Amino acid sequence: MSRIKTLQELFKRYRRPGDIVFAILFCFFSFFLLSQLEFQTKWVARTKLYAQPSFWPAVSILGMTIFSVLHYIGSLCSPRIAGRWTEVWFWLRSAEYVLYFLIYVALVPWLGYLPSTMSFALFLALRVGYRSRQAILSAVAFGMGVAIIFRAFLQVKIPSGELYNHLPDAVRAFALTYL
């Protein structure tokens, strides 16, 4: 009994709300990868163990599995702080912003970098609760500044928007190159 207690003491750590959910999910992920090792890597004949393509994936996944099980045990042994599902809800709330980000990514090749960045900055500023004229103008100006600095000055590799092709001749070439 005292040995079990000693072991428990040895694994005890500071545990934040939601820790056990993460520990279980990571454990499952590690076991899933372990189960796929045979199918997702090849064993090459007449090749030594250290040169096998599956050697390093096996080492890393075994390490992940062992450490994640120990991490889970540590979570079980440590005192709990209330608020597990509130914390999980916090994680899930990030999906909303991820969705906005991906819509923005999808819009850039159509609308063009400058208009989509300005619109995205404005939308996000409104979404997070800014209503003052100063904040809204700052967001739009920031979007414009970023687009101009990176596309016009630094010539970063971002495609021009489909929409630019419908612009009048006088500005089309400029927009395709710099905006």
Partner 1 sequence: MEQLLSGFIILAQWEVLIALLIGSVGGVIIGAIPGVGAPVAIAILLPATFSFEPIVGLTLLLGIYGSSMYGGSIPAILINTPGTAVNALTTYDGYPMTKRGQGHRALSLAYSASFFGGIFSILCLIILSPVLAWIAPHFGSREIFLAALMGIILVVLAHRGQVLAAGMLACFGVFLSTVGLEPVKYTKRFTFDQTWLGSGIDLIVVVLGLFAISQALLLLIDKEHAPKSTHVEGNLFSGLKELFGIKRVATAASSLGVLMGMIPGVGEFTAQFLSYTYAQKSSKDPDKFGNGSPEGLVASEAANNAVPGAAMIPLLALGVPGEALTAMMLSVFYVHNVIPGPQLFDTKLDFVFALYMALLLLNIFVMIFLLFSTNWLLKIIQIPTRFLGVMIIILSFVGVYSLRNSMTDCMLAAGFGVFGLILKRLNLPVVPIILGMVLGGIMETKFRTAMARVKNPLDFIDRPIAAILFVMILVILVAHVRTVMQEHQMNKQNHDDPDDHVGPETSTQQG
Smaller CB separation from partner 1, 8 or 172: 8
Q: What is the CA angle 121-123-124, rounded to 5?
A: 65
Token code pair at residue 98: 């991820």
Judged by CB under 8 A, the chain residues 103 through 132 that form the site for partner 1 are: 104-106, 108-109, 117, 120-121, 124-125, 128-130
46: left (phi over 0), alpha (psi -120 to 50) or beta: left
Smaller CB separation from partner 1, 165 or 171: 165
Token code pair at residue 108: 């850039």
Smaller CB separation from partner 1, 159 or 173: 159
The DSSP H or E segment spanning 179 is none
Q: Is there binding between residue 142 and partner 1 (CB under 8 A)? A: yes
Judged by CB under 8 A, the chain residues 48 through 107 that form the site for partner 1 are: 48, 50-51, 53-54, 56-57, 59-61, 63-64, 67-68, 70-71, 74, 78-79, 87, 90-91, 93-95, 97-98, 101-102, 104-106
Q: How many residues does the chain have?
A: 179
Amino acid sitting at position 159:
P
Choose which of 26, 84, 152, 178 interacts with partner 1 (CB under 8 A). Answer: 26
Stretch that binds partner 1, among 18-26, 160-168, 169-177 (CB under 8 A): 18-26
Checking 53-56 for CB contacts under 8 A at 24+ apart, the result is: none
